[in-house]
């Protein structure tokens, strides 16, 4: 039995997604910017998908910009707002636990004279809105705080942070790649101006994402080119992937979150009962439904992951994007773990396809390999 518990890194595409992509590739292969019949058929796929995504977010279709994924969406949000602000762009605020695509994008602006403030988190990884408020200045153009953390699942108080940004006329960007379709997030209710999502975390295809851009938000494009997506993102649209993205959204079962939460809690209960000294990294309550991150006091995660992989159980030590880097996880350091503790940490992330039998088998294997009882 293969047990895939690395769904925060990526998910297995759903059959409906593969069918939608295959059908689109065969029948709607025209360029959606072309005016002939095949082009217009492809454009219909794009616009139908845009409507599906907009409805899922509570947005208008014109507020959706398709991108190549979460990294591009985050770069477009951070750099695009700073570039559009021009000489006015002097200060950006991000949290200390953002995805590297937000952090690196923000820090890259420093050479243009933009000052970047990193707001710390508490021991559970949660940002204090009051701490954000304290660093805002009249020069602040953007605050970027993620919805759910990619390593420890912390659900940040984006409603409160968005409200304080809106009250001061500051743009608020939220990276929702981990939480999209798992936790409710309606842009009609949350005061967010830019929101990043992607498809491959919800059983959709890789290489497709989107940025919600609230109507009236000034945004400079990352790429020069043909001016697709209303001039906000040039390049020929990836129509099959867009069709797959919509199919993935349509296949979401809203009841799945409570099942994932129950199985995740069951997995944690099994581990904490059997592994002495095991600790939960991240929040106990304000936590994404499919995320478990634990610190194993006596076991380094990399050799453990190799043994688990050999047993057909797939998990990770942290963010997939950072796995190749030898440095300790900035997220785990930010919540107070020592460098030695970060390399003893294990991220187990479920999907709506994870079963109780899989969770129980994974727990037994981890306990056995981590020297528990």
Q: Rule CB under 8 A: choose which of 16, 23, 58, 61 binds other proteins.
A: 61
Window of 44-52, 162-170, 179-187, 199-207 that interacts with other proteins by CB under 8 A: 44-52
51 counts as binding other proteins under rule CB under 8 A: yes
Cβ atoms of 372 and 279 within 8 Å: the answer is no
Our answer to whether residue 174 is catalytic in this structure is no
Cβ atoms of 50 and 34 within 8 Å: the answer is no
For 161, the 3-state DSSP assignment is helix
Window of 48-56, 108-116, 152-160, 290-298 that interacts with other proteins by CB under 8 A: 48-56
| Helix, strand, coil share (%) of the chain residues, nearest 5 | 40, 15, 45
Judged by CB under 8 A, how many residues of this single chain contact other proteins?
A: 17
Q: Rule CB under 8 A: choose which of 5, 46, 97, 119 binds other proteins.
A: 46
Tell me the closest approach of the beta carbon of residue 48 to other proteins, in angstroms. Answer: 6
Window of 47-55, 93-101, 256-264, 280-288 that interacts with other proteins by CB under 8 A: 47-55
Task: Measure the CA–CA gap between 194 and 173, rounded to whole angstroms.
Answer: 5
- Which residues contact residue 206 at a Cβ distance below 8 angstroms, ignoring those fewer than 6 apart? 10, 69, 199, 200
Tell me the closest approach of the beta carbon of residue 83 to other proteins, in angstroms. Answer: 21
Q: Rule CB under 8 A: choose which of 1, 40, 135, 139 binds other proteins.
A: 40
Q: Rule CB under 8 A: choose which of 39, 157, 297, 371 binds other proteins.
A: 39
48 counts as binding other proteins under rule CB under 8 A: yes
Tell me the closest approach of the beta carbon of residue 243 to other proteins, in angstroms. Answer: 13
Give CA separation, 185 vs 48, 181, 351, in Å: 21, 8, 19
Q: Crossing angle of helices 239-250/37-57, nearest 10°? A: 40
Regarding beta strands 140-144 and 194-198, do their DSSP bridges make them parallel or antiparallel, or are they unpaired? unpaired
Tell me the closest approach of the beta carbon of residue 234 to other proteins, in angstroms. Answer: 12
DSSP assignment string, 216-248: T-----SS-SS-TGGGTS-S---HHHHHHHHHH
37 counts as binding other proteins under rule CB under 8 A: yes
Window of 36-44, 97-105, 120-128, 352-360 that interacts with other proteins by CB under 8 A: 36-44
Q: Which of 150, 144, 169, 153 has the alpha carbon at shortest distance from 76?
A: 144
Question: What is the x/- site pattern for other proteins, positions 13-32, by CB under 8 A?
Answer: -------------------x
221 counts as binding other proteins under rule CB under 8 A: no
Tell me the closest approach of the beta carbon of residue 214 to other proteins, in angstroms. Answer: 15
Q: Which is nearer to other proteins, 33 or 280 (CB)?
A: 33
Task: Measure the CA–CA gap between 301 and 344, rounded to whole angstroms.
Answer: 5
Cβ atoms of 347 and 316 within 8 Å: the answer is yes
Site residues (CB under 8 A) for other proteins, limited to 230-259: 230
Q: Rule CB under 8 A: choose which of 16, 23, 25, 34 binds other proteins.
A: 34
Total length of the chain:
373
Burial (CB count within 10 angstroms: exposed 0-12, middle 13-18, buried 19+), residue 207:
middle
43 counts as binding other proteins under rule CB under 8 A: yes
Q: Which is nearer to other proteins, 62 or 298 (CB)?
A: 62
Task: Measure the CA–CA gap between 293 and 347, rounded to whole angstroms.
Answer: 4
Q: Which is nearer to other proteins, 43 or 141 (CB)?
A: 43
Q: Rule CB under 8 A: choose which of 27, 44, 273, 325 binds other proteins.
A: 44
Task: Measure the CA–CA gap between 266 and 343, rounded to whole angstroms.
Answer: 24
Tell me the closest approach of the beta carbon of residue 221 to other proteins, in angstroms. Answer: 14
* Encoded tokens for 19: 């069918």
Query: Where in the sequence numbering do the catalytic residues fall?
Result: 321
**Residues in the site for other proteins, rule: CB under 8 A?**
32-35, 37, 39-40, 43-44, 46-48, 50-51, 61-62, 230
């Amino acid at each position: 039995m293969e047990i895939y518990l690395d769904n925060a890194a990526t998910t297995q595409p759903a059959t409906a997604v593969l069918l939608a992509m295959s059908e689109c590739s065969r029948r709607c292969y025209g360029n959606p910017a072309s005016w002939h019949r095949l082009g217009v058929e492809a454009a219909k796929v794009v616009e139908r998908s845009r409507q599906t995504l907009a409805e899922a977010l509570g947005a208008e279709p014109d507020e959706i910009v398709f991108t190549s994924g979460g990294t591009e969406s985050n770069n477009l949000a951070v750099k695009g707002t700073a570039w559009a602000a021009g000489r006015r762009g002097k200060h950006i605020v991000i949290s200390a636990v953002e995805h590297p695509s937000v952090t690196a994008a923000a820090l890259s602006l420093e050479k243009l004279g933009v000052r970047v403030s990193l707001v710390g988190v508490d021991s559970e990884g949660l940002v204090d809105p009051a701490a954000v408020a304290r660093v805002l200045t009249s020069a602040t153009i953007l605050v970027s705080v993620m919805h759910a953390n990619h390593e420890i699942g912390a659900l940040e108080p984006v409603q409160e942070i968005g409200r304080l940004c809106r009250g001061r006329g500051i743009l608020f960007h939220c990276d929702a790649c981990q939480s999209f379709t798992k936790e409710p997030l309606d842009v009609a209710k949350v005061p967010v101006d830019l929101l990043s999502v992607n498809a491959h975390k919800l059983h959709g295809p890789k290489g497709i994402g989107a940025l919600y851009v609230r109507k009236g938000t000034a945004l400079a494009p990352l790429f020069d080119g043909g001016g697709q997506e209303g001039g906000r993102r040039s390049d020929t649209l990836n129509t099959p992937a867009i069709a797959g993205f919509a199919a993935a959204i349509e296949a979401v079962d809203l009841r799945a979150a409570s099942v994932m939460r129950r199985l995740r809690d069951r997995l944690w209960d099994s581990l904490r009962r059997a592994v002495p000294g095991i600790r939960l990294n991240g929040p106990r309550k304000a936590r994404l439904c499919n995320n478990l991150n634990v610190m194993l006091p006596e076991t380094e995660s990399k050799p453990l992951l190799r043994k688990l992989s050999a047993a057909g159980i797939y998990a990770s030590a942290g963010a997939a994007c950072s796995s190749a880097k030898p440095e300790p996880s900035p997220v785990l350091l930010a919540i107070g773990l020592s460098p030695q503790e970060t390399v003893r940490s294990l991220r187990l992330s479920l999907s709506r396809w994870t079963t109780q039998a899989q969770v129980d088998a994974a727990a037994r294997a981890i306990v056995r390999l981590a020297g528990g009882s």
